[in-house]
Structure formats: C-alpha cells, structure tokens
A = this chain, B = another copy of it.
Amino acid sequence: MSELTANNYQKGDHFPARADPNILRVYYNQPCPFSERVRLVLTAKGIEHEKIAIKLRSKPEWFQSVNPSGKIPVIEFGADNRRLTESLVIADYLEAAFPDTRRLQPDDPYERANDRVFIEILLAAIFKIPFIYTVENLSENWSQIAATLKPVDILVAERRGNNKFLSGAGNVPNLVDYAVWPFIKAVPQIADIAGYDSDDYLRQELPAIHDYMGCMSSDPTVLQTEVIEDNECCVRRRHGFAKK
C-alpha cells in the first residue's frame, strides 16, 4: 500500500502523481459511507489499490479536475487516468472489469436486479431517519428515531431469513452487504451517543440488525477495511452534525 495512504489531502497540498499506472487509485473520505462501499468492494475482490484520502471541508484545489462535481468516491485507473464516480456504478465496473476476482453479484439477471432494488429500499428506509442529520441531542428525539429504525430491522430480518448475510447465498456476504453495511454500522453508534448500551438496546429492540452486525463484524473484508475511530467523532462526521 502506498505511503500516500496516510495522507489526508487538503487545500494547498500538491497533487500526488500516480506512481504506477497498473495500480488503481481511489479518492475517498474516511467517514463517507459511499467511499466505504467502494473500499469494501476493492478489498473483498482483492484488487490492489492506492488510497488518497480527501479532507472534505478543505478540498485540495486539484480535486476539482479529478471530479468537477466535487463528490467522492472516485476511482482512477489505466495509463490514461480514466475515472469513474458513483459507488454502485463503480461496483458494477469492478465486477465486470475484474472477472477473475471474487464475484460479489449473482450471475442470474433477476437475482442481480433484485439485490439492487433491495439496496435502494433499505437505504430509503435508513434515510427516513431525519434527526441524526439535524439534531445534536439524539436522546431527546430517540423515540422517533427508534420508530424509524424498526422498519429497517424488519427489512433486514425478512431479507436474511435463515441466512447469515443479506446476500441470499447463505454464508458469504456479497455486494448487498457491502453496499448497506456502511449505513447499518452507524446504528449502534447512534444508540451509544443517545445514551443507550447499544449492544443491549439492539438485542432487545432491533434483533435482526444486532444479529447481522455480529456476522458482519467478523467478516475478513470488514475487519480489513475498518479503521478504528472514535464512535462519536465518526457518527458526527458521517451525518454532518459536527460543530463547525
């Protein structure tokens, strides 16, 4: 892994030229769940990559030319520095462009499409949680947050059935899992900040998410991609309600 990995590029920093055109580069931000999706996919598929962390509140000037929309993640690859954005588009690209790596999507077109629809449905349910994006004091609004989390737990329960993962394939996570995990893993962090013992709380109130978290937390790809970070800092940055 490149030395550049340690960097968190910000305003004024020079553009780090790609040293090796054969190594794919990912521009990302640590607490960004969409970036985490792509990092999980790259790790799961065993695709060697160089990581360039971008400080979102003080982006380096050159990032404008990497992605005019300013959004992360971006992957960059090939001798001609081809670039792609949009985490699920990138996931599809990596699946098609690296056919000899671990498959993360079903071969059956209907199953593959069904996975994609489930990702959208689960994300829509998670994005119904309004308060974590606007309110500092989660505990005051917890009853309403809890009511919004319940349908998420039901979706997870229904989809998993007797499987360990959401993939439907039983004992191995696939793209569905890596696409929703960066959002799901925030649930206990939110509960902790709100003043609950998240393990107790999830076990009682959100049993499917609790059980699923246990399975995902011991997945080698998740373990390898995870960066130890202070819970509160991570959640606050993730949901944009840190004090500026």
> Counting CB contacts under 8 A, is A202 at the interface?
no
At the interface, is chain A mostly helix, strand, loop or mixed?
A: helix
> Cβ of A114 and Cβ of B84 under 8 Å apart?
yes
State the CA gap A120–B96 with chains docked (Å): 20
State the CA gap A144–B12 with chains docked (Å): 35
> Cβ of B116 and Cβ of A89 under 8 Å apart?
yes
> Cβ of A117 and Cβ of B97 under 8 Å apart?
no
State the CA gap A116–B114 with chains docked (Å): 18
> Cβ of A89 and Cβ of B113 under 8 Å apart?
yes
What band does the interface of chain A fall in when counting residues whose beta carbon is under 8 Å from B?
A: 20 to 34
> Counting CB contacts under 8 A, is A69 at the interface?
yes
> Cβ of B86 and Cβ of A120 under 8 Å apart?
yes
Taking A69-B121, A121-B69 as contacts, is the C-beta distance between A110 and B86 under 8 angstroms? no
State the CA gap A86–B116 with chains docked (Å): 9
- How does the 8 Å CB contact mask read for A78-93 relative to B, with 1 for contact and 0 for none? 0000101110011011
> Counting CB contacts under 8 A, is A102 at the interface?
no
Distance from A123 Cβ to chain B, minimum over Cβ atoms (Å): 12
State the CA gap A113–B97 with chains docked (Å): 10
> Counting CB contacts under 8 A, is A109 at the interface?
yes
> Counting CB contacts under 8 A, is A128 at the interface?
no
Q: Chain B residues near A120: list those with CB within 8 A.
A: 86, 89
State the CA gap A121–B67 with chains docked (Å): 11
The 8 closest A-B pairs by CB, nearest first: A96-B109, A93-B113, A97-B109, A89-B116, A89-B113, A84-B113, A93-B109, A86-B117
Query: Would you give 9 A-B contacts (Cβ < 8 Å), ordered by A?
Result: A69-B124, A84-B110, A84-B114, A85-B117, A86-B117, A89-B120, A92-B112, A92-B113, A93-B109
